[in-house]
Amino acid sequence: MEDVKTSNALIWSDRWRLGALSKSELMNIGFVSVIIGFLFILFHLYGNTVDNVGNRSAFSWMISRWSDKISFGADYSHGYLIPFVSLWVIWSKQKEFFAAPKQVCKWGLAVIVMALAMHWLGAKMQQTRISLMALIFLIWGIPFYFYGWKVAKLLIFPCSYLIFCVPLNFLDALSGPLQRIATTAGYTVIDGMGIECTRVGTMLRSPFFDLNVEAACSGLRSLLAMTALSAVYAYYTQKTLVKKWVLFLASIPIAVAGNIGRIISIALVSVTTGQKFGAGLHHDWSGYVLFTVAISLMVGFGKLLDINYRELFKTWKKAYLNHS
């Protein structure tokens, strides 16, 4: 029972009841509400300036790209989860936010001005993506101005993580190279196993199967999802900035290797059970299995980075000398 009370106290405190708040705190809440309302109006009513588009909301445009099943937008279906992850990161560090020294910082005002100029530029260029990036800078810059660098530093990761929400169309250009890499690597392995196979562009042809590595099978979706997952995993599990970046960047070859493994598995299953099952049921579900394997590799690599190799070497050396 005591544990339940303690847990409830962490979630809610009577200190934050409306009647318990001071006048200055109520004014701060009102001021924050005005800022949130301003941002909502700015990006909901004037966020999407593309001609012949009825909806001017940058938020609606972004969400529609997440749900797009035709273009590259389908690769951003994980976008729905990203804001909740950012909020969870902030919530998990609430004690650090309250303990951080707070003071007005003029550099934050420079970030706000830059972000507003960036939004204006995006509106003039009819590039909603630029406006969404400006919103991220505003979300970070406003607390930076009012509370200073210590608070802004804590917000760097949760705010920058929101970039995974923004559909970046230039990443669609990676589909072609990823297709070629997956096809070439898959062909090399399958041919090395002694299975009769020829490669024609992004097609793998064999007496047992015909496999076309289309844009949807390029691995771009799993690559984006894997990098988003590894970013938050590295942030919480690695102690140094270098190790965080190493683990984050390692998710790229892990995701690519996972997609290559998926293509090879489809070919092998088609050889053993037939084209219908291999390119059908196995094709539809193999992505989930190999994504699980990719996550396991990410966790394993993170554990390797956590090892103190210097201390481990000293232990081995001491044991070896004692044994000698």
Q: What is the pLDDT of residues 51-104, one digit of tens each?
A: 666 678 888 888 887 876 554 445 677 888 899 999 999 999 989 988 888 888
Output DSSP code: residue 56. -
pTM of the full structure: 0.80
Look-up of token digits 């489809």: 266
Gap between the Cα atoms of 250 and 245, Å rounded: 8
Which distant-in-sequence residues (6+ apart) come within 8 Å of 11 by Cβ? none
68 or 237: whose pLDDT is higher?
Answer: 237
- Check whether 36 has a pLDDT greater than 50: yes
Q: What are phi and psi of 110, to 5 degrees?
A: -65, -40
d(CA 56, CA 94): 35
- Reported confidence tier of residue 162, pLDDT bands at 50, 70, 90: very high
Q: Which residues of 2-31 are buried (b: 16+ CB within 10 A; e: fewer)?
A: eeeeeeeeeeeeeeeeeeeeeeeeeeeeee
Residue 39 in tokens: 């941002």
For residue range 114-154, what is the model confidence (pLDDT) as tens digits?
999 999 998 888 888 889 999 999 999 999 988 899 999 99
- Inform me whether the pLDDT recorded for 177 exceeds 50: yes
12 band by pLDDT with thresholds 50, 70 and 90: low
Domain locations in the chain as residue ranges: 2-167, 172-311
Cross-strand pairs, 73: none
Is the confidence at residue 275, as pLDDT, over 70?
A: yes
The torsion defined by the Cα of 183, 189, 192 and 197, in degrees rounded to 10, comes to -40
